[in-house]
Structure 1
């Protein structure tokens, strides 16, 4: 009898374990006091923002006790390669982020963006900065960050050496020569992971001031073998040949390049404003600002720098939790939460009424309204194969290929992918 009773209890215990295991895998579970909770997934590529986003998520969950937020973070290159497949499956990314340009166009074609046009929280954003997330009259994504994709420079070092921000290609070369004479590498270039993705924008902005240049390239009206791109490649070649970027630049990763600037071994970092907070974290004594190489003479220059509205927040059209996902984006766009994110990550934002408190953000805010900046040209390339060809031609030149040869090889790929 005892044996039969014991066997029955074992069977009941096993059934309870199975049922509890199933409950743990559900996206909607019950939590004693709060009742049913719906879990949404927030998918993005900004690993460096995890701590502040964790804190914001905690605040969100306090205000919305029926919702929990799980965060999934991928390296940016992996995110570019795999986000579309994961979003189409619908198993992750109820809220997700998108890069402008080729990824936005690809995700739009795949139909994964939920239309946010009529959502009240859209008015929380500066309408002049969110057009990059629009398609066919619909607001499909909301850019959160306002980034300046041009080199960060050590302002304190410049002041000590009596250096001024150059206003022409001649002055830029003179600046770099002075830095070399003082034992300082002018530009730390993270070629192993970031590559020329950011630096290409300021290097070409005045060589090809036509903002339709890449649309014309993809339609066949322009070619990479024309002067505007060959000159850009020649300018990159000059940087390498004169030692203005470090040796083995293509083998240097982001962390190593940042350390060069933090230790004052290098004067400039060829990435963008999004790395300023991290540099201050490595060396709190740094005084930083932004500059873009002017690759023409002063009277020919039309632009002073590069801007990008990016980290575009979106709701997955394949999600079964769209309303909860929209609540999370609305929360992120509240001025108090946006200010917290901005100041703790060192990012300017597209949200209205953000209060910037950090010295880095205050000191560089003049770039928003006072300087002539251009939207990042790379993100206006809507075909991923064409984008890869353009970037690869720069890497080829830095690796020793003649500029015209690199341009011709890239143009072949462009021709194969002509719109």
Structure 2
């Protein structure tokens, strides 16, 4: 070897919510001669643990103060490039893989980190997502997220349900849940949307991991079976009650509450929500269960992973060495272990020890499962990504899969080079 959380989503998360916050507590004023560096990211739910880690860093490095600013995910995706422009903000910044990484790279705002000692502190198999086409290490993925539904293992045991390994078994599982007045999947369409679910829904419909590269080169089209069939699967889920009523109008907090209250068996987000669900209902026993939409002998991929929350140094910064010192600190196993266990995130740092029940219960996905990198983050053009996601939302709104695919392809054709 995938959340916002895009949204806690890692969107993710992949896609955290809430207003901008500033960690003034984390910036020591004890040494007026200290160099202040700016650290910006989108994960508001990590503020408390980052404040503590920054305090530790400043104690170890009294000549450096860290000022952290956190922005809502959507705002961060839209405005990060502008914030980095003059070098006064984001000496250390984070980037999503995919379209945002490409945008920032094209603007020239990444510092080349190739050859830095701390790069060796990260799992080599996770680094390529932060590399340029010519192999330069421009950003370091920090989090390892599994972008697929989280399920209630205790509920499955009570109902004597097995984890499905084929489309037929998945249908039988969903029907059993419905018969017991349980919604199979809580779908947070109002804020996270299909950003996470699309990855596991298509993973065995389009086994070619270069499918979106071919789409953007004009060698593939959304009107072909791989995408029309994925849209048809979404329509089937929606029409047969696998998602709750008004799925497009449900936000992530409401969807999480459905799972916490055991009104729903799963939430269509990812591993980044497991810790939050346990906070709401500590009695939950959780696991990961991607939708299987293929016959058993046609299943190649068991799940989805993403290496995200990519740490980078602003090329316009005048404090690059101090910024690198901070990233090096974050890459130390004891620091990374604290961050992982207090936020419920798997990390790409070597030597991390997972202590929380949720992390220990899902760590086997790292080494024992055949997962593929999140397909959505392999779309480099933001307009193309929006068109792909909108086609799913249109199907959930009643448009036929064929029509939704053709409408999205028109937008793709207008934006590809």
TM-based fold match above 0.5: yes
Counterpart for residue 370 of structure 2:
372
Counterpart for residue 304 of structure 1:
302
Which structure has the larger Rg?
1
Gaps of 5+ in 1: 1-29
Evaluate the alpha carbon distance shift between residue 32 and residue 370 of structure 1 in structure 2; reply closer, same or farther with a 3 A threshold: closer
SS in 2 for 1:81: helix
Counterpart for residue 334 of structure 1:
332
- 1:54-109 CA distance string (max 9 Å, x none): 11011011111111111111111111111111111323111110011111111100
Gaps of 5+ in 2: 1-26
Q: Measure how far apart 1:31 and its partner are.
A: 8.6
- 1:360-394 CA distance string (max 9 Å, x none): 11111110010100000000100100000000000
Counterpart for residue 149 of structure 1:
147
Q: Measure how far apart 1:359 and its partner are.
A: 1.0
Aligned counterpart for 2:36 among listed residues 35, 39, 45: 39
Counterpart for residue 216 of structure 1:
214
Counterpart for residue 58 of structure 1:
55
Counterpart for residue 12 of structure 1:
none
Between the two proteins, the alignment pairs up a number of residues equal to: 391
Counterpart for residue 94 of structure 1:
91
Whether contact under 8 Å (2:28, 2:58) holds in the other structure is no
Counterpart for residue 25 of structure 1:
none
SS in 2 for 1:89: coil
Counterpart for residue 11 of structure 2:
none
Counterpart for residue 405 of structure 1:
403
Going by fraction, where is helix more abundant, 1 or 2? 1
**TM-score if structure 1 supplies the norm length?**
0.92
User: Could you say what the CA RMSD is over the residues aligned between the two structures, in angstroms?
Assistant: 1.4
The equivalences for 1:163-312 within 5 A come to: 163-312=161-310
Q: Counterparts of 1:160 and 1:41 in 2: how far apart (Å)? A: 50
SS in 2 for 1:352: coil
Which structure 1 residue ranges, 4+ long, deviate > 2 Å from structure 2? 30-35
Is 2:105 the counterpart of 1:71? no
Counterpart for residue 319 of structure 2:
321
Q: Counterparts of 1:31 and 1:307 in 2: how far apart (Å)? A: 37
**TM-score if structure 2 supplies the norm length?**
0.92
Evaluate the alpha carbon distance shift between residue 148 and residue 31 of structure 1 in structure 2; reply closer, same or farther with a 3 A threshold: closer
Evaluate the alpha carbon distance shift between residue 72 and residue 31 of structure 1 in structure 2; reply closer, same or farther with a 3 A threshold: closer
